[in-house]
Homo-oligomer: A and B are copies of this chain.
Amino acid sequence: MVDVADVATVKSALREQRIETPSWAFANSGTRFKVFPQRGVPRTAEEKIADAATVHRFTGVAPSVALHIPWDRVPDFRALRSYAGDLGVEIGAINTNVFQDEDYKLGSVTNPDAGVRRKAVDHLLEAIGIMQVTGSRDLKLWFSDGINYPGQDDLRDRQDRLAAALREAYDGLGDGQRMLLEYKLFEPAFYATDVPDWGTSFAHCVELGEQATVCIDTGHHAPGTNIEFIVAFLLRAGKLGAFDFNSRFYADDDLMAGAADPFQLFRIMYEIVRGGALDPAYGIRFMLDQCHNIEMKIPAIIRSVMNVQEATAKALLVDRDALRSAQQAGDVLGANAVLMDAYNTDVRPLLAEVREDAGLDPDPIAAYRRSGYQERIETERIDGQQAGWGA
C-alpha cells in the first residue's frame, strides 16, 4: 500500500475528474451481423441526454454528454442545451458524421468527387455552427475515409484533399473552439485509412495550428501499440486533446473501458497524472466511446465511468518520489514494483469514500438498479423509433 500519497489530494483530484458520456452509446448498436435491440432505449436526443444525466446523477463525474450530428440533430439546439442544463449536464463535444450518407461510399472529405467533398466540409461547418449554440468547445472529427483495394484511389491525393478540408473547417472555428482529430487503423476501410495513426493526426494538427489536437481512441490501434507512449509523447508536444475510452481484445471492439486490459488503462492514466493533465483546467476531454451490444446500456456506462475512476485512483496513488528514485538508480525491478504497488491496491473503498463525501451512493450500480429508472424507461419508451447508430 502506498503511504506517501496525500490521500486528501488524491480524493480531491478524483472529485474533480470529468468523464464525458456519448449520446450514441445509450442507443442500439451492434455488429455487421446483427443489432440486438434493447428495451427502454432512447428515441430522441432528449432521451439520450436524460440517460446521460442519469449516469451523472449516480457517478457525479460525468457532467457532459457528447452529441453526434446528424444522429442528434434537433430543430432547436438552444432548447436542447437548456433541456440538458435543467437535467444537470451540459453538451460536450460535437461529433460529425460523414459516413452514413450514400454519397460517402467512396469517402467524404477525401472523396475523388469534389461535390461530395464540398458536402462533407459543409457538414463540418454546420457542426461548428451548432457548437456556437450548444456552447461546445470541441469539434470532434472522425473520418471513415479510406479505400478497400490497392489502387482504388491515390493515397497522396487523398491527403491533399484531407488537408484542404481540415483547413477550411479549422478556419471556421471560433475563439476558444478546438478541433479534435481522431485516427483509426481500419474499419470501415479495409486497405488504407486516410487518418490511420496518431502520426498522421499529429502532423495535420501541427500544420493546422494551436486549436487542433489529437484524439486518442483506445481501440483504434494496431496490435501491440503502446498507447501510453503516445499519450506521453502528445502531452510533451502539447497536442493531446481528447480520449475516446473503450476497450478491445481484437479490433475496434468498443467494449467497456477497462474491461479488456485494466492494467493498460492504469498505465494510460498514469501518464495523464504524471503529465499534470488530469485537471479539467488542462483541457483534455476524457470521453467514453463504446457500444453496448449485448449488455444493458446505462449500467454499462456507469461501470465504464467507474473503471476509469479506479484506474485514475491507482495512478494517483503511485509513489512518484520512490518511482523517480528507482528509475534514476536504474533499479528495474524496484521501479516496476513501485508502479505495480499502486496498481495492485484495491481502490474501491477510497472511491466509495469520495462518493460519499460528495453525497452520492458509494455503489452507483446498485443505486441505479434501486432507482427504478430502468423500469421506467422500459415502460415509457414504447412507441416511436428507437435510436440506433443509424437513427
Which of A's residues lie within 8 Å of B, judged by CB? 1, 29-34, 36-37, 99-100, 102, 104-106, 112-113, 144, 148-157, 159-160, 185-188, 190-193, 196-200, 202-203, 206, 221-226, 228-230, 232-233, 235-237, 248-251, 253, 255-256, 259-263, 267, 271, 274-275, 293-296, 299-300, 303, 310, 323-324, 326-328, 330, 332-333, 335-340, 343-346, 348, 365, 389-390
**Chain B residue at minimal CB-CB distance from A295:** B332
Is A261 within 8 A of B263, CB to CB?
yes
CA distance A275 to B155 in the complex (A): 11
Question: Which residues on the B side are within 8 Å of A105 (C-beta)?
Answer: 36, 294
Is A152 within 8 A of B186, CB to CB?
no
Is B226 within 8 A of A196, CB to CB?
yes
**Chain B residue at minimal CB-CB distance from A202:** B199
5 pairs, A vs B, C-beta closer than 8 Å: A106-B294, A155-B232, A199-B203, A221-B222, A344-B346
Question: Which residues on the B side are within 8 Å of A152 (C-beta)?
Answer: 327, 332, 335-336
Is A191 within 8 A of B224, CB to CB?
no
Is B389 within 8 A of A32, CB to CB?
yes
**Chain B residue at minimal CB-CB distance from A33:** B188
**Chain B residue at minimal CB-CB distance from A303:** B333
CA distance A340 to B296 in the complex (A): 17
Question: Which residues on the B side are within 8 Å of A345 (C-beta)?
Answer: 346
CA distance A134 to B326 in the complex (A): 42
CA distance A229 to B106 in the complex (A): 17
Question: Which residues on the B side are within 8 Å of A303 (C-beta)?
Answer: 333, 337
CA distance A336 to B260 in the complex (A): 11
Additional pairs, 20, CB under 8 Å, beyond known A30-B188, A149-B255, A303-B333: A31-B187, A33-B100, A34-B390, A106-B294, A148-B293, A149-B335, A149-B336, A151-B327, A151-B338, A152-B336, A155-B228, A155-B233, A186-B253, A193-B226, A197-B225, A199-B233, A222-B222, A295-B333, A345-B346, A346-B346
Q: How far is the CB of A229 from chain B (nearest CB, A)?
A: 5
The 7 closest A-B pairs by CB, nearest first: A199-B199, A151-B339, A222-B222, A223-B223, A190-B253, A31-B188, A346-B346
**Chain B residue at minimal CB-CB distance from A260:** B191
**Chain B residue at minimal CB-CB distance from A222:** B222
Q: A31, A113, A226: which has the most chain B beta carbons within 10 Å?
A: A226
Q: How far is the CB of A328 from chain B (nearest CB, A)?
A: 5
Is B226 within 8 A of A249, CB to CB?
yes
Question: Which residues on the B side are within 8 Å of A310 (C-beta)?
Answer: 344
Question: Which residues on the B side are within 8 Å of A206 (C-beta)?
Answer: 206
| Of B33, B330, B348, the contact of A344 (CB 8 Å cutoff) | B348
Q: How far is the CB of A43 from chain B (nearest CB, A)?
A: 19
Q: A113, A233, A249: which has the most chain B beta carbons within 10 Å?
A: A249
**Chain B residue at minimal CB-CB distance from A34:** B100
**Chain B residue at minimal CB-CB distance from A263:** B262
**Chain B residue at minimal CB-CB distance from A340:** B151
Q: How far is the CB of A241 from chain B (nearest CB, A)?
A: 16
CA distance A34 to B155 in the complex (A): 23
Question: Which residues on the B side are within 8 Å of A255 (C-beta)?
Answer: 148-149, 190-191
Question: Which residues on the B side are within 8 Å of A340 (C-beta)?
Answer: 150-151
Question: Which residues on the B side are within 8 Å of A221 (C-beta)?
Answer: 222
CA distance A256 to B336 in the complex (A): 11
Is A151 within 8 A of B100, CB to CB?
no
Question: Which residues on the B side are within 8 Å of A330 (C-beta)?
Answer: 106, 112-113
Is A251 within 8 A of B187, CB to CB?
yes
Question: Which residues on the B side are within 8 Å of A271 (C-beta)?
Answer: 155-156
Q: How far is the CB of A315 from chain B (nearest CB, A)?
A: 12
Question: Which residues on the B side are within 8 Å of A202 (C-beta)?
Answer: 199, 203
